[in-house]
Amino acid sequence: MDTGYYHSPVGILEIKADDKAIISVQLCDKIAWRTKSKNPIIRQSIIQLSEYFAGKRRSFDLPLFAKGTEFQEKVWDALLQLPYGKTVSYAEVAKIVRHPKAWRAVGSANGKNPIAIIIPCHRVIASDGTLGGYAHGLDIKKQLLDLEKQNK
């Protein structure tokens, strides 16, 4: 497994991949001196993330391998279908994955999303329109939603 770092507008993203797919994208709190990776998948992810933050990319075209429970993987697959700039509620995602009463479990699956931003769990909000939660903090969730709103 290889690791690369991308200095994004919301913080340093640590990107992990093998020779077949992205395995993890997470905000990290360490200083990353090594930003270039020889892994072509990591390099492509950095290009696509740069385009996303510049408002030029609305979806990602990368091989992903997000490992979780069967339910978590269903939720993450559903999140990949959410349109850029659109938000849905945890309850709506629960209906999409055919577990209409499992909105709390959807929130838990969101919190365990191993591939932040690319699997857009930041687009899921509470039914009352508030932001709900976000594993990397509500300020970053708001920044991502604002970015998408202004580039819609």
**Do 103 and 134 sit in the same domain of this protein?**
yes
Q: What angle do CA 17, 2, 82 make, to 5 degrees?
A: 20
Q: Which residues contact 84 (CB under 8 A, 6 or more apart)?
A: 58, 59, 148, 152
Whether residue 38 is contained in a domain is answered as yes
**Do 97 and 32 sit in the same domain of this protein?**
no
Whether residue 85 is contained in a domain is answered as yes
> Which of 27, 53, 79 lies at the terminal end of a domain, its last residue?
53
Number of domains into which the chain is organized: 2
Report the alpha-carbon distance of residue 11 to residue 63 in Å, rounded: 23
**Do 48 and 103 sit in the same domain of this protein?**
no
Domain that holds residue 89: 70-150
Spot the catalytic one: 121, 124, 125, 144. Answer: 121
For the chain, 152 residues long, give each residue's pLDDT as a single digit of tens.
999 999 999 999 999 999 999 999 999 877 666 657 899 999 999 999 999 999 999 999 999 999 999 999 999 999 999 999 999 999 999 999 999 999 999 999 999 999 999 999 999 999 999 999 999 999 999 999 999 999 87
User: Looking at residue 30, what DSSP letter applies?
Assistant: S
Instruction: Say whether 121 is catalytic.
Output: yes
What's the pTM?
A: 0.94
